[in-house]
Amino acid sequence: MSAKIFIDGQAGTTGLGIAQRLAAVPHVSLVTLDDAHRKSPEARAAAMAEADLTVLCLPDDAAREAIAIAPEGTRFLDASTAHRVARGWVYGFPELAPGQAAAIAQARLVANPGCYATGAIALLHPLVKLGLLGPGQALSINAISGYSGGGKAMIAAHEAEGGPAFELYALGLAHKHIPEIMQYAGLNRRPLFVPSVGHFAQGMLVCVPMFLDQLRGHPTAERLAEAYSDYYAGAENVIAHPGLHAANLQPEALNNTDKLEIFVAANESAGHAVLIARLDNLGKGASGAAVQNINLMLGGA
């Protein structure tokens, strides 16, 4: 069976990454618009009507507008933040829980997860699900991203003018990924989330520091690593490393892959652990996850 896909926002960072990956998928063709028409509501609505699936790679407001102009019945995968916790949308994280991949496959409306949220949820959801982490536990999440996470504008700022070597941001402590992290990790207490961006193009580390005696049953850090290995056994794109990790970790190691790795680092005698997810913000954090969801929505793997 062949399928037509319209990427609304194909000229952007995420859109280009999806188009590049889909070029290798048999029986899928793209409905494209020329530069003069790519922002025309009429041309976009006609492209949506022609396609079996429309992928939104747009800023949030433009994504909302796209839904408003769409012909009835249009199937959407939205890469923006606009619909991730919206009623009627399925969260596009197939490894979240048994049944999630099937829910994505059948859905008309799927929201692709945020890059940091992907790392944080991959770490926190299994612990909540297994009863090790209480949903009301006080948590901090620290993360670093490559500058491509900020799209065309941040890429241009870093590559043309030279951006800062490193900066903390979202210091109003209200980053846009917090709602989806809470909802899909299963938290009812808002975590502190401090993201940062470095002067490198892509790659990401998401870290959750943990006092082991705050976890239910006081598990060892080794036990947490084992829990992740069991939880993600069989998940092709999530690799949970068994045992404790002590070597240095660089954010760029998974660049140009669609994988996410999980590590547990610890000082067991101090009762301290750090849960770490590594991913490519443009891979499992954006376009790679989108293509995983597209394949599911089209009835493939």
Ligand X SMILES: NC(=O)C1=CN([C@@H]2O[C@H](COP(=O)(O)OP(=O)(O)OC[C@H]3O[C@@H](n4cnc5c(N)ncnc54)[C@H](OP(=O)(O)O)[C@@H]3O)[C@@H](O)[C@H]2O)C=CC1
Ligand Y SMILES: CC(=O)N[C@@H](CCC(=O)OP(=O)(O)O)C(=O)O
The residues that touch ligand X, with contacts defined as CB under 6 A, are 8-9, 11-15, 38-39, 57-60, 62, 79-81, 114-115, 148-149, 151-152, 281-282, 285-286
Q: Which stretch binds ligand Y (CB under 6 A): 65-73, 146-154, 229-237, 243-251?
A: 146-154
Least distance (Å) between residue 269 CB and ligand Y: 36
How many CB atoms are closer than 10 A to CB 87? 6
**Residue 52 to residues 45, 49, 190, 221: CA-CA distances in angstroms?**
13, 8, 38, 46
Query: Smaller CB distance to ligand Y: residue 81 or 295?
Result: 81
Beta bridge partners of 166: 198
Q: Inter-axis angle of helices 60-69 and 41-50, to 10 degrees?
A: 70
Q: Is 74 in the site for ligand Y (CB under 6 A)?
A: no
Q: Scan residues 30-49 and list those touching ligand Y (CB under 6 A).
A: none
Least distance (Å) between residue 219 CB and ligand Y: 30
Longest Cα separation, the chain: 64
Q: Scan residues 174-233 and list those touching ligand Y (CB under 6 A).
A: 176-177, 195, 197
- Residue 39 contact among ligand Y, ligand X, none, beta carbon within 5 to 8 Å by kind: ligand X
Q: Scan residues 160-179 and list those touching ligand Y (CB under 6 A).
A: 176-177
Least distance (Å) between residue 207 CB and ligand X: 18
How many CB atoms are closer than 10 A to CB 179? 16
Of 81, 287, 292, 295, which one interacts with ligand Y (CB under 6 A)?
81
Least distance (Å) between residue 255 CB and ligand Y: 15
3-state secondary structure of 90: strand
Residue 258's contacts (CB-CB under 8 Å, 6 or more residues apart) are 237, 280, 283, 284, 288, 289, 291, 292
Active site residues: 115
- Residue 25 contact among ligand Y, ligand X, none, beta carbon within 5 to 8 Å by kind: none
Residue 99's contacts (CB-CB under 8 Å, 6 or more residues apart) are none
3-state secondary structure of 125: helix
Return residues touching ligand Y (CB under 6 A): 81, 114-115, 145, 149-150, 154, 176-177, 195, 197, 281, 285-286
